[in-house]
Chain A
């Protein structure tokens, strides 16, 4: 009998991907809620990892007619001591009932695993880069080349052989250029021919064909085609993110942790928009330095507080390494708000003249002690300064945060899709 053995292992995987997407789309609000809840409990680093989420089954339930209750009869194996007419004590509140197959709502929560991409997508779903940034993206384009059909003129290096030969063939057929085989056939016929008269006729025919084939060249200059290239604008696909942080003695571990969380979110967010994201860490006391991540968050430092030093450092680095024409520049500054009183003027000037014009986005995050409500206190010196700048029209975003759980809402708030503004802004 015929038998077929088929190896399906090499078939493309992910056959159920579409069903999965449908499921996620349907459960979107539930999953999104779960993702946000999970991400609050987790380290921001792990947010990137995707992983298991639990959603209530309710919205995803597939109902069907089920019977329950009533008198039940069952046949069971493994009788040891019962005889007919015995009574078995019901255990507790009808626990015998619960053990029935297909009954009970044991499935009220539904756990499953999200991939990293799905997780991040859902996590950042309703967020968007602010309008300002989009305008800038449009301006900061560079040019690239791309194939765009054929042309009749060009450099020899760009000759398209296949297209040229193709056109030549078409032309030869159209003009009925005699084929080589045709003439060879004729020559053979002449060689075999004995009758003088036909021979003369054949020779004349051959001559005619030869002349024609000379008149119509194999490849004519008009056949030649060159590959055409076109320059197209390419959006800049790289971004740099500046993390500025005050590390003077007044910043506690808790405050640094808040700042870190914010930076991580921003990083995840940028990473999704841009292929290549660089991070520059600048910490400052009364002088600023560029450091690596470890030092940035955990390295000890102490001193006074001069915000302008960090801004100056950032401006220098931008000038040296990140040409605003090639890079999308984002900056986020975290501080407890202390600044030396005399520094305000200089910081404000640096910000408005050097930093803000090259930045897509500048966020200031004022971190406070856990439990201490930052909003009741009088505004810090830095907050006052930035607020004045913002009221003067500078595109600054600023928020105050004192609890870990506030980080995401604040971030969300900063980048929320604002459709009305989008329309209003030209």
Chain B
């Protein structure tokens, strides 16, 4: 076939026809050889400045205005100018169509790599992984962001910039605790969300707020004090989604403030799957680009020289420094993900006795892509590592587990290493390190003192003695109290319900403008 043997490009230059050819060639490999299932692609070529722009607004093409994004932009720009930081080759957005941003200064080889990586690797993962299916609405996200942007602008016009900023600051501080971690509610439909926003606002103005039912109305209430059980049930407690709780139950928020909390909450929720699948997502994309680039090279559509250029970039992306290397800063998700994907390929096609024992389900099954597609669809980092990290890879990366107990005088203990006794423990510990539920502080609203001063009571369940950073905790609680408008207390308790520390914060008076 002359078509497939013709080179996609020569040298480093590219134009839009080249991009089209590259995309088509990648698509042929992705769909026919790898059996990927992707959203339609939209490829956008951008400049370095636009890339910095995208960085500062968490990679999204449109976002509401807030000073913190300006701060991040200034910070990124300063370090970029000084050459401290290189820019990513691409940014990809979980939307339908799936938008990939390509930097204009990439060479043709790099554009091929990036298209294979983002427009097919990430794209397939977004469309098929269960977390993304469950928690994000790829069709609606861009419209919803557009709605959010306009809504925030409208609020600023109507209620003043300072007021909106105050609410958003508070919401941002609580963003990491504005996520539903467990399914149960129906999947988000962001388009309907946007349409309903107006109606909901109206409705909520009239809605019955349970908190007010306990406001004394007469000289002596005949109503008995609510039992704790009933009160908790009415308020939906305990509740770990702080933003959700405030949106629904904070007594004195204006409807537009509730809507702003909702916007921030939805956006946090949208990014939640990405934080849980860093290793898998990058592993998938890296594995896919590696397969596609190799296939294109075999077909003769990429020259040897360009292929070497690709290998150079590829190896630096999947480079994993060792723990005592000055460049070490934790596991590189690209490296770990790619290594695990390749390892699964090896187990499926060419297993050893050890693999058959550890992975009886997939060892020697033969259908690499079938197994991988299934893995990509049904796991997140924690379960993926917990099940598919093989002894061989642990040996290869020479993993070991350190246990650092400040009470221990002797020092940091080596708890397990890459040996027969340690494999399972190392693997379990690494999986835990990638469990978002384990990384974020476990904070939930447990009660509201309805019969007293309406104090909001939160608990932080301290795990392994790691308490909250004091200055930050106070500031976040200040924001929380401002939204709640009554006192807020946060109690840090350990596993035995022993109180370790208590914070109490009162709301600041609202500035006169409000």
Q: Which chain A residues lie closer than 8 Å to B443 at the CB level?
A: 65
The listed residue (B56, B320, B414) touching A88 by CB distance below 8 A is B414
Most chain B CB atoms below 10 A, which of A27, A64, A82, A94 = A64
The listed residue (A6, A19, A25, A85) touching B56 by CB distance below 8 A is A19
B411 touches A60 (CB 8 A): no
A83 touches B66 (CB 8 A): no
The listed residue (B67, B411, B416, B472) touching A65 by CB distance below 8 A is B472
Q: How far is the CA of A112 from the CA of B177 in the complex (A)?
A: 30
Closest to A100 in B: B330
Interface string of B38-55 (1 = CB under 8 A from A): 001111111101101100
A-B CB proximity, top 4 nearest: A78-B322, A23-B70, A70-B465, A70-B466
> Would you list which residues of chain A between 34 and 74 have a CB under 8 Å from chain B?
52, 60-74
Q: Which chain A residues lie closer than 8 Å to B176 at the CB level?
A: 64-65
Task: Check if B325 is an interface residue, CB within 8 A of chain A.
Answer: yes
Task: Check if A423 is an interface residue, CB within 8 A of chain B.
Answer: no
Q: How far is the CA of A89 from the CA of B402 in the complex (A)?
A: 12
B67 touches A11 (CB 8 A): no
Stretch at the interface among B73-81, B276-284, B292-300, B448-456: B73-81
Task: Check if A26 is an interface residue, CB within 8 A of chain B.
Answer: yes
Q: Which chain B residues lie closer than 8 Å to A86 at the CB level?
A: 413-414
Task: Check if B356 is an interface residue, CB within 8 A of chain A.
Answer: no
Task: Check if B271 is an interface residue, CB within 8 A of chain A.
Answer: no
Report the minimal beta-carbon distance from B428 to chain A, rounded to whole angstroms: 10
Q: How far is the CA of A348 from the CA of B443 in the complex (A)?
A: 77
Count of B residues near A, CB < 8 Å?
99
Interface string of B375-414 (1 = CB under 8 A from A): 0000000000000000000000111111111110011111
Most chain B CB atoms below 10 A, which of A13, A72, A85 = A72
Closest to B56 in A: A16
Interface string of B57-78 (1 = CB under 8 A from A): 1000000011111110111011
A112 touches B50 (CB 8 A): no
Closest to B335 in A: A77
Report the minimal beta-carbon distance from A55 to chain B, rounded to whole angstroms: 10
A71 touches B74 (CB 8 A): no
B70 touches A16 (CB 8 A): yes
A67 touches B400 (CB 8 A): no
The listed residue (A11, A65, A72) touching B441 by CB distance below 8 A is A65
Q: Which chain B residues lie closer than 8 Å to A61 at the CB level?
A: 475
The listed residue (A16, A70, A85, A87) touching B464 by CB distance below 8 A is A70
Q: Which chain A residues lie closer than 8 Å to B66 at the CB level?
A: 19, 22
A15 touches B50 (CB 8 A): yes
Stretch at the interface among B215-223, B363-371, B418-426: B418-426
Q: Which chain B residues lie closer than 8 Å to A73 at the CB level?
A: 401-404, 415, 429, 432-433, 464
Interface string of B176-216 (1 = CB under 8 A from A): 11000000000000000000000000000000000000000
Task: Check if A215 is an interface residue, CB within 8 A of chain B.
Answer: no
Task: Check if A76 is an interface residue, CB within 8 A of chain B.
Answer: yes
Q: Which chain B residues lie closer than 8 Å to A21 at the CB level?
A: 70
Report the minimal beta-carbon distance from B57 to chain A, rounded to whole angstroms: 7
Known interface pairs A74-B433, A75-B433. Does A88 touch B412 (Cβ–Cβ under 8 Å)? yes
Q: How far is the CA of A242 from the CA of B43 in the complex (A)?
A: 59
Known interface pairs A66-B472, A112-B77. Does A25 touch B414 (Cβ–Cβ under 8 Å)? no
Task: Check if B329 is an interface residue, CB within 8 A of chain A.
Answer: yes
Q: How far is the CA of A15 from the CA of B60 in the complex (A)?
A: 12
Known interface pairs A1-B41, A84-B416. Does A78 touch B466 (Cβ–Cβ under 8 Å)? no
A78 touches B324 (CB 8 A): yes
> Would you list which residues of chain B between 446 and 482 have a CB under 8 Å from chain A?
460, 462-469, 471-473, 475-476, 479
B441 touches A79 (CB 8 A): no
B44 touches A6 (CB 8 A): yes
Q: How far is the CA of A11 from the CA of B66 in the complex (A)?
A: 21
A65 touches B473 (CB 8 A): yes
Task: Check if B97 is an interface residue, CB within 8 A of chain A.
Answer: yes
B413 touches A87 (CB 8 A): yes
B401 touches A69 (CB 8 A): no
Give the interface size bracket for A toward B.
Answer: 35 or more
Known interface pairs A66-B472, A73-B403. Does A113 touch B27 (Cβ–Cβ under 8 Å)? no
A79 touches B475 (CB 8 A): no
B398 touches A84 (CB 8 A): no
The listed residue (A25, A71, A80) touching B67 by CB distance below 8 A is A25
Known interface pairs A3-B23, A66-B468. Does A84 touch B422 (Cβ–Cβ under 8 Å)? yes
Known interface pairs A16-B70, A65-B472, A66-B472. Does A5 touch B400 (Cβ–Cβ under 8 Å)? no
B404 touches A62 (CB 8 A): no
Task: Check if B435 is an interface residue, CB within 8 A of chain A.
Answer: no
Report the minimal beta-carbon distance from B31 to chain A, rounded to whole angstroms: 8
A16 touches B57 (CB 8 A): yes
Known interface pairs A19-B67, A22-B70, A84-B414. Does A62 touch B441 (Cβ–Cβ under 8 Å)? no
26 contacts between A and B (CB under 8 A): A3-B24, A3-B27, A3-B42, A5-B42, A6-B43, A15-B53, A16-B52, A20-B70, A22-B65, A22-B165, A63-B173, A63-B475, A65-B472, A66-B441, A69-B466, A69-B467, A71-B405, A72-B464, A73-B415, A74-B401, A75-B433, A76-B402, A79-B400, A80-B324, A110-B71, A112-B78
Q: Which chain B residues lie closer than 8 Å to A25 at the CB level?
A: 67
Q: How far is the CA of A64 from the CA of B170 in the complex (A)?
A: 10
Q: How far is the CA of A343 from the CA of B23 in the complex (A)?
A: 86
Known interface pairs A69-B466, A75-B430. Does A80 touch B398 (Cβ–Cβ under 8 Å)? yes
Report the minimal beta-carbon distance from A1 to chain B, rounded to whole angstroms: 6
Known interface pairs A23-B74, A78-B322. Does A90 touch B466 (Cβ–Cβ under 8 Å)? no
Task: Check if B104 is an interface residue, CB within 8 A of chain A.
Answer: yes
Known interface pairs A78-B322, A96-B412. Does A4 touch B468 (Cβ–Cβ under 8 Å)? no
Task: Check if B172 is an interface residue, CB within 8 A of chain A.
Answer: yes
Report the minimal beta-carbon distance from A185 to chain B, rounded to whole angstroms: 53
Report the minimal beta-carbon distance from A30 to chain B, rounded to whole angstroms: 12
Report the minimal beta-carbon distance from A148 to chain B, rounded to whole angstroms: 33
A64 touches B398 (CB 8 A): no
B41 touches A113 (CB 8 A): no
Closest to A68 in B: B469
Task: Check if A425 is an interface residue, CB within 8 A of chain B.
Answer: no
Known interface pairs A64-B476, A67-B441, A84-B417. Does A5 touch B70 (Cβ–Cβ under 8 Å)? no
Known interface pairs A69-B465, A75-B430. Does A96 touch B330 (Cβ–Cβ under 8 Å)? no
The listed residue (A9, A89, A110) touching B50 by CB distance below 8 A is A9
Interface string of A96-108 (1 = CB under 8 A from B): 1100010000000
Q: Which chain B residues lie closer than 8 Å to A84 at the CB level?
A: 414-417, 419, 421-422
Task: Check if A2 is an interface residue, CB within 8 A of chain B.
Answer: yes
Q: How far is the CA of A94 from the CA of B41 in the complex (A)?
A: 49
Q: Which chain B residues lie closer than 8 Å to A3 at the CB level?
A: 20, 23-24, 27, 40-43
Known interface pairs A67-B468, A72-B464. Does A52 touch B441 (Cβ–Cβ under 8 Å)? no
Q: Which chain B residues lie closer than 8 Å to A70 at the CB level?
A: 406, 462-467
Task: Check if A180 is an interface residue, CB within 8 A of chain B.
Answer: no
Q: How far is the CA of A64 from the CA of B441 in the complex (A)?
A: 10
Interface string of A310-343 (1 = CB under 8 A from B): 0000000000000000000000000000000000
Task: Check if A8 is an interface residue, CB within 8 A of chain B.
Answer: yes
Task: Check if B151 is an interface residue, CB within 8 A of chain A.
Answer: no
Q: How far is the CA of A67 from the CA of B466 in the complex (A)?
A: 6
Q: Which chain A residues lie closer than 8 Å to B324 at the CB level?
A: 78, 80
Most chain B CB atoms below 10 A, which of A74, A89, A90, A110 = A74
Interface string of B70-100 (1 = CB under 8 A from A): 1101110110010000000000000001000
Q: How far is the CA of A26 from the CA of B418 in the complex (A)?
A: 52
Known interface pairs A15-B50, A77-B323, A82-B400. Does A20 touch B73 (Cβ–Cβ under 8 Å)? yes
> Would you list which residues of chain A between 110 and 155 have a CB under 8 Å from chain B?
110-113
Q: Which chain A residues lie closer than 8 Å to B101 at the CB level?
A: 8
Q: How far is the CA of A72 from the CA of B405 in the complex (A)?
A: 6
B81 touches A113 (CB 8 A): yes
Task: Check if A7 is an interface residue, CB within 8 A of chain B.
Answer: yes
B44 touches A8 (CB 8 A): yes
Interface string of B227-250 (1 = CB under 8 A from A): 000000000000000000000000
